[in-house]
Structure 1
Amino acid sequence: MTMKKLKGFTLIEVLIAMIVLAIGLLGLAGIQAIGLRNNQSAYHRSQATQLAYDMADRMRVNRVALTNGNYDNGATSANDCEANSCTPAQMAGYDIAQWNAALADQLPGGVGVACIDSSSEDGTSAAPACDGNGTTYAVKIWWDDNRSGASDQRFVTTLRP
């Protein structure tokens, strides 16, 4: 009579163990998903940092256009300055065009601006808030980190000519 009661009890133990294991595996999958999302976010921030420094280096190399203000909210140029000779102003436009293409290619919803700005930690991708005051250039980059459709992350670096 005691043997019949023990057989059913073992089956309940196995069922409870399976439920605990399933909950543990679901928790592990959730942790993995959070880790992947944070890793992607860190990758985007690294790309933004690299692209901001790329633009700052382009500006430092073309010192004439930098001091003339050609990079301050500058327009892009259709000139191919790698194949043809260009003026410093045309080279600045070419740099901006190349940089904008790299932003769009390497960051989701990536946009950016290089401008003279006295308070670099403001603005949005739609309104960069470049005031034109002072002598400090701000290189501002925005991208959509969570793919919501809004450029919600920003990276800013500054340089002085």
Structure 2
Amino acid sequence: MRSFTGSPHRFLTHRCHRGFTLIEVLMAVFVLAVALTGMMHLHLAAMRAQRQSSYQTAAIGLAGDMAEMIRAWDTPAAGDPDPFLFEHRAGNAMPATSDCLGGASCDPAALRRFGIAQWLENVQAALPMARVSICRDAAPWSPAGAFQWTCSGGNAGIVIKLGWRAENGNGGASASPSEAGPRLVLNIGEPSS
């Protein structure tokens, strides 16, 4: 039988160091996992922000297109309804129009309706759960300073209001545009005289 020579503490100390190294490795793996999870959440937040930015950019372009369309057409005669003052929500049927593309013959009223229908199709394609309100409004914001869907009417200037469903910070969908206020309001017109 072999005899043990040396200190028993030396054997125990060496064994404890091996366990301590394992704990260090596990802690390093844990810290790395936490860091990677944080980076993943940061990347997802950046992607959400980029998507919302692209929706905002699309909404600005679409509102500008409609503003140009409204300015291009003559003001309707007194007593006639203004075809550019309307409200549309996602899920509503598109207005019926005649096809004015190609060689089709369209009167000015049909051409206006066709332009509005084409614009609404573009809005629905670019913005999720889009809601549109084009109206006369002297104060498009509430007393609290948030944009609102209601319009004052009367002889106020023309305002284009666009809303869409956005993602909240948790990645889920926020309130629908009908429940939340507009995300973009563009005042395009002087009060009618």
TM-score by length of 2: 0.70
**1:10-159, aligned counterparts within 5 Å?**
10-65=21-76, 69-73=82-86, 76-83=95-102, 84-121=104-141, 128-146=149-167, 147-148=173-174, 150-151=176-177, 152=180, 153-159=182-188
Aligned partners of 2:165 and 2:105: how far apart in 1? 36
1:9-51 deviations in Å (ceiling 9; x for gaps): 2111111111111111111111111111111111111111111
Shift of 1:77: 4.8
Q: 1:85 to 1:137 in 2, by over 3 A?
A: farther
Q: 1:77 to 1:58 in 2, by over 3 A?
A: farther
SS of residue in 1 equivalent to 2:138? coil
SS of residue in 2 equivalent to 1:63? coil
TM-score by length of 1: 0.83
Q: Percent identity?
A: 28
Shift of 1:52: 0.6
Aligned partners of 2:136 and 2:64: how far apart in 1? 16
Contact 1:142/1:155 (<8 A) preserved: yes
Aligned partners of 1:92 and 1:143: how far apart in 2? 24
Greater Rg by CA: 2
Which residue of 2 is the match for residue 160 of structure 1?
Answer: 189
Q: 1:8 to 1:70 in 2, by over 3 A?
A: closer
Aligned partners of 1:78 and 1:55: how far apart in 2? 17
Shift of 1:160: 1.9
Aligned partners of 2:113 and 2:151: how far apart in 1? 18
Q: 1:42 to 1:137 in 2, by over 3 A?
A: same
Shift of 1:120: 2.6
Letter in 1 for 2:111: M
Q: Which runs of 4+ in 1 moved over 6 A?
A: none
Contact 1:114/1:140 (<8 A) preserved: yes
Contact 1:52/1:157 (<8 A) preserved: yes
Aligned partners of 2:76 and 2:110: how far apart in 1? 9
Q: 1:89 to 1:66 in 2, by over 3 A?
A: farther
CA RMSD of superposed structures (Å): 2.6
Letter in 2 for 1:78: T
